[in-house]
Amino acid sequence: MASIHLNDVSVDFVLYQGSARSLKKTLLRSSTSGALKHDAHHRITVKALNNLSLTLEHGDRIGLIGGNGAGKTTLLRVLAGVYEPTGGRIRVEGRVTPLFDLGLGLDMDASGYDNIRMRAAYFGIDRDEIERKMEDIAAFTELGDYLDLPVRTYSAGMTLRLAFAAATAVDPEILLMDEWIAVSDVQFLEKAQRRAEGFVNRSSIMVVASHVESVLQRLCNKLLWLERGSIVRIGPVDEVLAAYHNHTSHTVTGNGTGVAESAP
């Protein structure tokens, strides 16, 4: 059974830019950044996630909401293992399929077919099983003979088709999505959405970050509201949305998030 445990997880990004003082002032004027701090080396850091503790279990369909810079994408990347927490512990049990940063892990010198095989092997899928599925996966990409050629010969749209097909070759236990599906090719978008929708139903845990409420209402059974890297509220979709609306309609002054700024 899939599960995710976050215990006091933090992610700090160090900002290396020239004038730390003016940079900090600029960021503090912005309503959208995570909390800014000095680290032990007097560097300015952005606290993108701030001591997050959270348990997700089988059946959880979690929508992440919050203003720009709240930490949604950072949290997804931590769950995907793209970022290591800079503090705290994370334990993920189950096969994770991130449907973002799709190009990560593609071998540009290998063929499309071999990339699909490598992805399956990475997940421990039997060679025979993936060969049985290959015809369907290849048909899904509509890349035809290009699947025999190195990926570096593909256009951006073709690479995305392959990356999406390779990522979804194996049924996910834990499905992670940023803004549902970001594909610009309209015809492929419809196919990709149908495929992802099937995955949402078959996955054990799903986490999606989105600003689109109809997407959250359709896909999720819980919402997690983040601001400045901290959890404001987690609970049933309608309840959290009502609190979020109430908060945003009352936030007419201040930093735009209604959350106190860190000390300048």
Ligand X SMILES: Nc1ncnc2c1ncn2[C@@H]1O[C@H](COP(=O)(O)OP(=O)(O)OP(=O)(O)O)[C@@H](O)[C@H]1O
- Please report whether residue 72 would count as binding ligand X according to CB under 6 A: yes
Min dist. Cβ of residue 179 to ligand X (A): 8
Q: Nearest distance from residue 96's CB to ligand X, in Å? A: 18
* β-sheet with 222-227: strand ranges across: 96-98, 174-178, 205-209, 61-65, 222-227, 230-235
How far from each other are the two terminal CA atoms of the chain, in whole angstroms?
Answer: 45
Segment interacting with ligand X (CB under 6 A) among 64-72, 115-123, 136-144, 200-208: 64-72
Q: Which is nearer to ligand X, 222 or 228 (CB)?
A: 228
- Is residue 73 within the footprint of ligand X (CB under 6 A)? yes
DSSP 142: T
The minimum distance between CB 37 and ligand X, in angstroms, equals 12
Contact region with ligand X (CB under 6 A), list: 71-79, 110-118, 151-159, 238-246: 71-79
Give 70 or 151: the residue with its C-beta nearer to ligand X.
Answer: 70
Site pattern 10..49 for ligand X (x: CB under 6 A): ---x-------------------xx-----------x-x-
9 or 166: whose CB is closer to ligand X?
9
| All residues at 6 or more sequence positions from 204 whose CB lies less than 8 Å from its CB, including other chains | 1, 2, 58, 59, 94, 173, 174
Nearest to 3 by CA among 167, 173, 122: 173
238, 261, 241: which is closest to 249 by C-alpha? 241
- The nearest distance, CB 56 to ligand X, in angstroms, is 18
**C-alpha–C-alpha distance, residues 106 and 119, integer Å:** 9
Tell whether residue 248 is a contact of ligand X (CB under 6 A): no
Residue choice 9, 44, 62, 70 for contact with ligand X (CB under 6 A): 70
d(CA 206, CA 197): 11
Based on CB atoms, which residue is closest to ligand X, 74 or 203? 74
Residues 168 and 120: their CA atoms lie apart, in Å, by 10
Task: Figure out which of the listed residues 50, 60, 63, 71 binds ligand X, where binding follows CB under 6 A.
Answer: 71
Minimum distance from residue 158 beta carbon to ligand X (Å) = 26
d(CA 120, CA 128): 11
Helix 112-122 × helix 127-141 angle, to 10°? 130
- List residues near ligand X by CB under 6 A: 13, 33-34, 46, 48, 66, 68-74
